[in-house]
Chain A
Amino acid sequence: MGRRTKISYLINFIALLVVYAIVFTLIETESISRYWSSLIILICINIIMATSLNFSTGFLGQLVLGHAGFMAIGAYTAATIGIALSGAGFPALPAIIISVFSGGVLAAFSGIIIGIPALRLRGDYLAIMTLAFGEIVRIIINNLEFTGGAKGFRGIPRLMNFTYVYFFMIACVAFLMLLARSRHGRAIISIRENEIAAEAVGISSTRYKVTGFALSAMIGGIGGGLFAFQMGFLQPTMFGFMKSVDILVMVVLGGMGSMTGSVIAAIVFTWLPEALREFNEYRMVAYAVLLIVMMIVRPQGLFGTREFGFSKLMRKIFNKTKKIDTESLKGGDS
């Protein structure tokens, strides 16, 4: 790792801590309402969902229309285990970690099961299959006893707070970003670019596709688990096809293949519908129009495949001032 990368990691890390400190104080001092603090938690969860979907759709290049299915698996698993653990007197944090990770593991497992056959298919067929998968998960939950069926799953301890969800989010996003930059990540991107060429240089496309898909499902399941502890109540309709589409919209608008793009899109598109709530009747129409216009005007998304970083931003600002300095020096000489 070069010095420059180390410094940029450090800068990004510090910047994330600063953001955390600011939001934390805002919430603790009650400068912002409960409504806003719960919206911020929802934003963090959506960031996890969007980045995890971006991993399979943007990096691996497989259009997935059933990401809410993985979220649902994670959420219901985490909720079931979480109720048992907090009933047994576990403190909040270990209870969350254990149940959320079990949710993630089960989601990853179902990702492997659906992934092995599904990834043999290409393009639209994979999308259709994941769509069917998402619907099946919803219908199964609707029909099971312990999930409460259509009436919903009640009595989940509401253990979530900003600190937990923020660090979970950072861990998930950092994991995905580092993975995407690693050797394995490059192999995954090469499959997106050209699967046949990737296989020709010795990359096992099936193995990478299934692993990538399962990891994406796992992080999605983790997001679902956090969601369960935030809402305290789950219903199968929360994880319908529309939810999968919502997440996909974030990924596409942020730019497929740009993790930071997904982060920003998740922030904007969780907040925007809320901000437009005053125009309740028209907000969904506006939202849809925005989506269509965006696709026509800028189909690669806000960021394309570029990443945004605090260190890059600083370097840009820093370089600019430097340039101005040298220019003013030159001006002084002549």
Chain B
Amino acid sequence: MEFFLQQLINTLKVGSIYAVIAIGYTMVYGIIKLINFAHGEIMVFGSYFAFLLATYSGLPFIAILLISMILTAILGMVIEKIAYAPLRKAPRLSALITAIGMSFLLQNIMLLIFKSEPKRMPELISMRPLEIGGLIIDPITIITVGLSVLFMIILQIFIKNTKPGKAMRAVSEDKEVAVLMGINVNRIITLTFAIGSALGALGGVLYSIAFTQVYPTMGIMPGLKAFVAAVLGGIGIMPGAMLGGFLIGLVETFTKAYLSSTWSDGIVFSLLIIILLVKPSGLLGKHRKDKV
């Protein structure tokens, strides 16, 4: 029973990281219908920013986190302007290939700067593990879950209640009509990339703290899984990404704990296939009929 509860806590930790990263995928997809393959690498950039700040500046954790999120948001905007904006009217496949190229590029830039060997992430959170009724909860878990949930709530409020948030929803609903309503679509797209990348950085920082290391290719697997999470919940739908993230975390932790750690990724991907077969639009997605 204790083991089971421990796994549930692990699920929350891993799941919240996936959820935060998945939101980045889903937001971008919702707005420009692009699978942003570079998102995993953007996330790693966030980790590296935090790593550098933690090693050389000695700022407190929250400052490090916020600065790396802002830096990554700027990076996301730059990427969007350089690589994706010129392809707004191109076939979707070319945009997808560009995203893959971008992922390549970012990965190799990191390899150039930081080299391939993993770096140890300095200990940013120094708190004693909590003990509740025989269960040991590691402070990293609390902070990870707390921060992810906090930022998800902030994002929800932003999307639901502010003007740019409303504009964002309008653009993802119908770009042409949004333009007619006087929304600056390009600015909204940039904003989306900024928010998505900042959340990616949050995920990256939390991920690298949880696994205590940073290396250039570490974004591939969490990136793919977060993407699976986004699809699982219905890509383009924000609550779907959160649900998907926690589900993937659940499946991964429990297969690792009870079945086998080598098969767990396989099971995660099979789950994706099953969901796509049964409900192609994802768990929370609405089915859209094709029109002639």
Contact = CB atoms under 8 A, between A and B. Distances in A.
Given A63-B93, A132-B269, A295-B101, A284 B108 contact: yes
Interface of A is mostly: helix
A241 interface: yes
B62 interface: no
Interface in B136-163: none
A39 interface: no
Interface stretch (B15-23, B178-186, B260-268): B260-268
Contact of B265 (A135, A249, A288, A296): A135
Nearest to B108: A284
B101 A117 contact: no
Nearest to B105: A288
Interface string A118-135: 101111110111011101
A296 B109 contact: no
B96 interface: yes
Contacts of A241: 220, 224
B218 to A, nearest CB: 15
B105 A285 contact: yes
Contacts, number: 112
Contacts of B111: 281, 284
A23 interface: no
B35 interface: yes
Q: Classify the secondary structure of B's interface with A.
A: helix
B226 interface: no
A140 interface: yes
A314 interface: no
B83 A296 contact: yes
Given A136-B266, A136-B269, A139-B265, A288 B108 contact: yes
Given A291-B101, A295-B98, A295-B101, A121 B269 contact: no
Interface stretch (B53-61, B84-92, B165-173, B200-208): B84-92
A161 interface: no
Q: Identify which of B33, B93, B265 gathers the most chain A CB atoms within 10 Å of its CB.
A: B93
B276 interface: yes
B272 A128 contact: yes
Interface string B245-275: 0000000000000000011011001101100
Given A143-B262, A287-B104, A292 B83 contact: yes
B112 interface: yes
Contacts of A136: 266, 269-270, 273
A299 B98 CA distance: 10
20 contacts: A118-B276, A122-B290, A123-B92, A129-B276, A132-B270, A135-B265, A136-B270, A136-B273, A139-B262, A139-B265, A139-B266, A142-B262, A241-B224, A249-B101, A284-B111, A292-B101, A292-B105, A295-B87, A295-B95, A296-B87
The 10 closest A-B pairs by CB, nearest first: A291-B101, A288-B105, A299-B94, A139-B266, A288-B104, A284-B108, A132-B269, A292-B101, A295-B98, A299-B90
Interface of A: 63, 117-118, 120-125, 127-129, 131-133, 135-136, 139-140, 142-143, 196, 241, 245, 248-249, 252, 256, 281-282, 284-285, 287-289, 291-292, 295-296, 299
